[in-house]
Structure 1
Amino acid sequence: MVKVIASQVRKGNVLELDNQLYVVLTAENFHPGKGTPTTQIDMRRISDGVKTTQRYKTTEQVERAFIEDQDFNYLYQDADGYHFMNMESYEQIQVPEDVIGDQKVWLQEGVSCRIARYNELPISVELPARMVFEVVETEPAMKGQTATSSYKPAILNNGARSMVPPHIQTGTRIVIQTEDGSYVERAKD
């Protein structure tokens, strides 16, 4: 365990509180004009998935657990969870659905992810920041509509919905920001 000040805690870090491990979901620093600066940390307990929020003074110390990060490729999903394989050692691991969370919609077979583990237990999965998907359904472009006017809804080949510019048509491959599902640009392939 390593002690760090609360203002240095980041999303994905693992903290130990009361002999329990928590993965950090969000960490925000607040600097009011008057009073003590604080850090609010939203966490999920690894053992049972219970979410909690703690508030610390920014200079208060918290214990950060040592975690191991490795690259794994996504293989498939079944009733047991999501299965990944390390391409160097061919080790396969299973990740429960609650660890993947809302990111599961962006998982594609063969995509490389960074998985953080504590004592061989998967605690968080980090997807690539941007991924390419194909638009399978969207409204046709209207004549006279400019590219900056507004966005229209589109359904991607993974079933997810995203808002795209009016010039994007069905069959177009686009780049999506996996953090929030927003359109970035047309794919360059």
Structure 2
Amino acid sequence: MPKINGNEIRPGYVLEHDGGLWGAVKVDHVKPGKGGAFAQVEMKNLRDGRKLNERFRSADKVERVRLEQKDMQFLFESDGQLTFMDVETYDQVTLDAELLGDRRPFLQDGMTIVVEFHDEEALNATVPQKVTCVIVETEPVVKGQTAANSFKPAILDNGVRVMVPPFVGQDEAIIVNTETMEYSERA
């Protein structure tokens, strides 16, 4: 594994620290008036979800871990566990549903997502950035309501509430950005 300096840590990096695998969630570079600069890193344990705040000086060496990414197909959910299948080998992997957080409703049957592995152990899963959803409920279109940046609330087929432009109506398919949880475009 490559070792990097403490000041080279970026959000999204996976580090081996204190005998565990940690994902860097937030990184602040601090340069105090007295003493050397350091990186204040908020990390999350990829196995059990614990959080940790740690300081790394530029002279500190940290082990950066590269995760292998595989495209897998979502099969089903049972008892808070999500089951995915490798489309090439048909191997099945289960992950905790809480891993996806508030993006969980965007997971659809048969959807291909990216699962990250470290030494054959599945650690993380990411939903595609753009997902097509159908609007189940929204206010009707009001003629003459063309003010710039006016949005109206809408409820999607997966139960998520988003703000949509006034010209989008009920039963229309839209594309939602899963990172920002916002309307992106019409499908």
When residues 70 and 8 of structure 1 are mapped into structure 2, their CA distance, relative to the original with a 3 A threshold, is farther
The residue identity in structure 1 corresponding to 2:67 is: I
Provide structure 2 residue ranges, at least 5 long, that are not aligned to the other structure.
none
Which deviations, in whole Å up to 9, do the C-alpha atoms of 1:150-189 show, x marking residues without a partner?
11111111111111111111011111111121111111xx
Instruction: Tell me which residue corresponds to 2:165.
Output: 165
1:28 aligns with 2:27: yes
SS at match of 2:105: helix
User: 152-161 vs 48-57, which deviates more?
Assistant: 48-57
What is the CA-CA distance between 1:21 and the residue it aligns to?
Answer: 1.5
**Identity rate, percent:** 34
Which deviations, in whole Å up to 9, do the C-alpha atoms of 1:12-44 show, x marking residues without a partner?
4321111122123x2334366967654343322
Determine the C-alpha separation between the residues in 2 that align with 1:174 and 1:59: 49
How many residue pairs get aligned? The number is 186
The residue identity in structure 1 corresponding to 2:122 is: P
1:83 aligns with 2:113: no
SS at match of 2:75: strand
When residues 128 and 145 of structure 1 are mapped into structure 2, their CA distance, relative to the original with a 3 A threshold, is same
What is the CA-CA distance between 1:60 and the residue it aligns to?
Answer: 4.0
Instruction: Tell me which residue corresponds to 1:67.
Output: 67
Instruction: Tell me which residue corresponds to 1:134.
Output: 134
TM, length-normalised to structure 2: 0.87
Determine the C-alpha separation between the residues in 2 that align with 1:68 and 1:42: 23
TM, length-normalised to structure 1: 0.86
Instruction: Tell me which residue corresponds to 1:49.
Output: 49
When residues 59 and 120 of structure 1 are mapped into structure 2, their CA distance, relative to the original with a 3 A threshold, is same
Instruction: Tell me which residue corresponds to 1:121.
Output: 121
The residue identity in structure 1 corresponding to 2:110 is: G
What is the CA-CA distance between 1:53 and the residue it aligns to?
Answer: 2.4
The residue identity in structure 1 corresponding to 2:21 is: L
Determine the C-alpha separation between the residues in 1 that align with 2:70 and 2:114: 6
Which deviations, in whole Å up to 9, do the C-alpha atoms of 1:59-118 show, x marking residues without a partner?
643211242211101111111500111111111100112322222121111111111112
User: 117-126 vs 153-162, which deviates more?
Assistant: 117-126
Determine the C-alpha separation between the residues in 2 that align with 1:33 and 1:14: 26
SS at match of 1:21: strand
The residue identity in structure 2 corresponding to 1:105 is: P
Paired residues of 2:46 and 2:124 also in contact (CA < 8 A): no
When residues 22 and 96 of structure 1 are mapped into structure 2, their CA distance, relative to the original with a 3 A threshold, is same
Q: Say what the alpha-carbon RMSD is for the aligned residues.
A: 2.3
Determine the C-alpha separation between the residues in 2 that align with 1:112 and 1:59: 41
Paired residues of 2:11 and 2:27 also in contact (CA < 8 A): no
Determine the C-alpha separation between the residues in 2 that align with 1:151 and 1:7: 42
Determine the C-alpha separation between the residues in 2 that align with 1:111 and 1:56: 39
